Amino acid sequence: MDWGTDLWDQYDIIDKHTQSGLELVEKYVKFVKERTEIEQNYAKQLRNLTKKYNPKRGCKEEQECRFSNHQSFLDILNEMNDYAGQRELIAENMMMNICIEITKYLQELKMERKTHLSEAKKAQQSLESTYKQLDSSKKRFEREWREADKAAQYAEKTDQDINATKADVEKAKQQANMRTHIAEECKNDYAAQLQKYNKEQSQFYFSDMPLIFNKLQDMDERRVRKLAQGYVLFSDTERHVMPIIGKCLEGVTKAGTNVNERNDSIALIEQYKSGFERPGDLDFEDYSQGINRASSDSSLGTLGTPKGPLELLGKNRSKPFWLFSKKSKRLTPERIIVMPTVTEDFGHLPPEQRRKRLQQKLDDIGKELQKEVDQSEALEKMKDVYEKNPQMGDPASLSPQINQTAQNMERLRGELNKYESWLTEAGRRGDSMLRRDTLPEDALSYRSHSNNNGSTHEPYSPDGTHSEEGTPDPSQAIYAEFDDDFEEEEELVAPIGQCTAMYNFPGASEGTITMQEGEVLSVVEEDKGDGWTRVRRANGNEGYIPTSYVSISLSK
């Protein structure tokens, strides 16, 4: 069944039907566009929401991220941000694959339909023109035949008239014969026009219009097929990102399961533990014996002991130490807390917090020293290359940078010795020595390096000044104790877990590593909050990968 055969006389219906189909396509495109706008607005609102609740740099909330419940909330915000990105991807794909593609196809269909309807109109106009010619020839034939009939009757009447002359009879007969001849020509012309019209009419109804209707049918079926594909794409576009959306939701679930209330309590202890002993009993002050009250000290204020909470907070030592501060709208000299002066050795902090700050300072200095050592090695290599290949550069041009790097290394080594001494005084000599294992051999061989080069610089004393040659340096024992360890090759950091790649990652950037979906890698360093995790392959290659691309299982 086709339109050309079964709908040969329904031109108006076909015209309206095809127009209605094109309008439906336009309506669907508008519908998808509004859907993409909704997705984009939804994604924008989600991003604004996550940005609103993300802690700002340096604020109190950022400092509390060391607790698992705070970190899990940040993980949820990151997952929601990724979720918003997937909603944006849905909107983008719908716009590209449905709206733009179908709109382009719709324009082609409109041009095709216009062409087919134009062909139908031309065929109709041609048939109408032929019919007009037929009608004209028919009327002429009718008129000329009547005239011939009248001329014949007049000739016969004249021939029977006894009063008519022979000339009149001959003239009437000639006129009748002429009219008859013209009528015959009109008849033949009418017959020819009729035959031509019938032929064109048959061509019109059995060939031309069925062909045009069938083309319109094919066009409409292709429109319906394309629209059906657009319907399928509407769901497939969202279905394709469902796995990643599912991973985002799994990340939210994982963030909830990663909350550990016990570890949070321990972290709070580690962060705020002062190391002080609890206050002892107050001594009895016997005024009857004339004892000066000001000379009486509590168990917290004995000479030779580290500063306690009373001294650090500037409280009156003659009064008990209260855990809960009493708020008062009116400030009196007794209620004003005088904050202690911040010192370089962190002596203003409680013992436990002082040790941690000194250890953190040592870590920072070690990292800076490592950078300077790496830069020094690079400059020496570049100088060697310039000496072997003078056309590449002047070796003397590197001397200022080499001297500056050497000065920076000496300064950092002096600070390292100084903070090591303070850490030893704070009771963490063992921990500080262990931390020195992470420093490079060049950074720890200052004495031997300086002696070999004939340097006259002396080691720094704990207060930052040059110590005399005969004065023992507390940090020298540390160097001597670990000289053998630093001569050995640095061992690889032991893995802390494993991870499985969920997606392919090209690893095109410097410091990253490629991975394939399903590949199992060893985790060397956890995500520090920047979205990257350090991993290692079985062959020893290491690099960074996006944390959201893998499923991590840490060793317990």
For 451-531, where are the E strands, in sequence order?
497-501, 520-525
Q: Exposed, middle or buried by CB within 10 Å (0-12, 13-18, 19+), for 424?
A: buried
- Residue 532's DSSP bridge partners are 546
Q: Looking at 258-308, list the stretches that DSSP marks H as alpha helix, in order from N- to C-terminal side.
A: 261-272
Q: What is the pLDDT of residue 461?
A: 39
| pTM of the predicted protein model | 0.52
Q: What is the pLDDT of residue 346?
A: 79
Helix (H, G, I), strand (E, B) or coil at 545: strand
For residue 531, give the nearest of 38, 65, 74 by alpha carbon. 74
Q: To which residue do tokens 């520090």 refer? A: 528
Q: Do 134 and 196 touch, CB atoms closer than 8 A?
A: yes
Alpha-carbon separation of residue 553 from 179, 394, 496, 556 (angstroms): 113, 52, 9, 9
Q: Do 518 and 500 touch, CB atoms closer than 8 A?
A: yes
For 399, the token pair is 């001397």
Q: What is the pLDDT of residue 475?
A: 39
| Cα 374 versus chain centre, distance | 34
Q: Which tens digits make up the pLDDT trace of 93-121? A: 999 999 999 999 999 999 999 999 999 99
Q: What is the pLDDT of residue 511?
A: 81
Q: What is the pLDDT of residue 24?
A: 96
- Spatial CB neighbours of 118, under 8 Å, sequence gap ≥ 6: none
Q: What is the pLDDT of residue 216?
A: 94
Q: To which residue do tokens 């041609």 refer? A: 126
Q: What is the pLDDT of residue 303?
A: 37
- Spatial CB neighbours of 272, under 8 Å, sequence gap ≥ 6: 353
Q: What is the pLDDT of residue 486?
A: 40
- Residue 75's DSSP bridge partners are none
d(CA 272, CA 542): 36
Q: Do 375 and 398 touch, CB atoms closer than 8 A?
A: no
d(CA 356, CA 479): 22
| Cα 60 versus chain centre, distance | 28
Q: Do 189 and 142 touch, CB atoms closer than 8 A?
A: no
Q: Looking at 459-507, list the stretches that DSSP marks H as alpha helix, in order from N- to C-terminal side.
A: 474-481, 483-487
Q: What is the pLDDT of residue 283?
A: 82
d(CA 339, CA 222): 82
Can you state the angle between helices 261-272 and 68-94, rounded to 10 degrees? 120
**Which regions of the chain are under pLDDT 70?**
58-64, 290-341, 427-491, 556
Q: What is the pLDDT of residue 135?
A: 93
d(CA 332, CA 317): 17
DSSP element (H, E) containing 30: helix 11-53
d(CA 428, CA 417): 14
